[in-house]
Amino acid sequence: MMTILGRAMGDRVDWQSGRMDGAGVQRSVKTVGELAGVFADEAARSGMDAARVVYAVEWTEPVAAGTEGGLFWGATRLEAGCVGDEYFMTRGHFHAVRDRGEFYGTVSGEGMLVLMEEDGATRVERMVPGSLHYIPGRVAHRTVNTGAEAMVFWACWPSDAGHDYAAIAARGFGLRVMRGDGSPRVVEA
């Protein structure tokens, strides 16, 4: 007896590179020039090549953004580098619908996931190939590449989560991850 399998959605993933392929795939790139105010050393940032890519995200939205009960899927490729002494990182956000959680799973590179509660309490988790991270609702999240290679991780988040960047622009995270002597330094912001 033969089982006829259902057809998967048309999108494809390349696990290692984090690249996706397919009609539904969206892509967003953030350059040094687009990250004003994110890093502690704004003078260092504005002196860098504004076109240099810090990170790129590819993802698929199988249902419309805002749909309750759906999921989005995608990968972030965060390049290696520093702004002054601070490692390249994502802007970070709370989900606009605050109680929505998320999974991250690292495939390559090394870094840190910075997690901040609504009261500002901040902690970090090490990201290494194979590390799986559950980000609970109401927790802001940012990733930092502390290695010499690009860091790639996959993510799955609710389609109605949305992204609140304004809350982070206003107050930042409680910790910053800086280049240290031999190993990264996690310092109070």
Q: Using CB under 6 A as the criterion, which residues of the chain lie in contact with ligand PAN when the complex forms?
A: 57, 74, 76, 90-93, 102, 141, 143, 155, 157, 161, 163
Give min distance, CB of 85 to ligand PAN, in A.
21
Give min distance, CB of 8 to Zn ion, in A.
24
Residues in contact with Zn ion, counted by CB under 5 A, come to a total of 1
| Residue 91 partner contact from Zn ion, ligand PAN, none using kind-dependent CB cut-offs of 5 to 8 Å | ligand PAN
**Rounded Cα gap, residues 56 and 10, in angstroms:** 21
Is the CB of 86 or the CB of 102 nearer to Zn ion?
A: 102
Give min distance, CB of 99 to ligand PAN, in A.
14
| Residue 144 partner contact from Zn ion, ligand PAN, none using kind-dependent CB cut-offs of 5 to 8 Å | none
Is the CB of 48 or the CB of 175 nearer to Zn ion?
A: 175
Give min distance, CB of 141 to Zn ion, in A.
6
| Contacting Zn ion within 82-121 (CB under 5 A) | 102
Please give the residue ranges that form the binding site for Zn ion (CB under 5 A).
102
